[in-house]
Amino acid sequence: MRRFFLIATGYLCIVLAVVGIFLPLLPTTPFLLAAMVLFAKSSPERAKKLENNRFLGEYIKCYTQGTGMNLRYKIQTIILLWASISLSALYLIDTLWVRVLLFIIAVAVTIHVILIRPSRPKGSE
């Protein structure tokens, strides 16, 4: 029963992480890392499968191995962040202070992403 709970919670974390890619206020990385921990405790095969996933695997490896974030991912992250926050602020939010808060969050996350150590191209050790 415990194993089933851990696996189910791991999949829930993956769903939340994927949703977090598109919603600026829902974090992606903590949910992916939580899924890795849950899978490592309950099903190492699933942890390995997540780590080797075509879409999420590289992101997890870069974070867990401390290799940094390549420029392409940084640019994609910042563009997606600003697009989703801008659309939310313009079309979904009517309250001025919430729009200002979204702008502050976007600026803070942009600074955070910019400050993440850039990864080196393979072979340039």
Whether residue 85 is contained in a domain is answered as yes
Q: Does pLDDT of 40 surpass 70?
A: yes
Whether residue 104 is contained in a domain is answered as yes
Other CB atoms within 10 Å distance of the CB of residue 125 = 5
> What pTM did the predictor assign?
0.63
- Could you give phi then psi for residue 12, rounded to 5 degrees? -60, -40
- Same domain flag for 60 and 8: yes
Whether residue 124 is contained in a domain is answered as no
Quote the domain boundaries for residue 40. Answer: 2-65
- Same domain flag for 27 and 61: yes
- Same domain flag for 110 and 87: yes
pLDDT band at 56 (very low <50, low <70, confident <90, very high): confident
- Greatest extent of the chain over all pairs of C-alpha atoms, in Å: 50
pLDDT band at 121 (very low <50, low <70, confident <90, very high): low
Q: Does pLDDT of 44 surpass 70?
A: yes
Q: Please give the average per-residue pLDDT across 104-122, as a whole number.
A: 81
- Same domain flag for 31 and 59: yes
Whether residue 96 is contained in a domain is answered as yes
Q: Where are the alpha helices (DSSP H) in 2-95?
A: 2-22, 29-42, 44-51, 57-65, 71-87
Whether residue 35 is contained in a domain is answered as yes
Of the two residues 46 and 117, the one the predictor is more confident about is 46
Could you give the number of structural domains in the chain? 2
Tens digit of each residue's pLDDT (9 = 90 or more) over 10-25: 999 999 988 887 776 6
Q: What tokens appear for 111 in the block?
A: 């600074």
Whether residue 57 is contained in a domain is answered as yes
The amino acid sitting at 66 is G
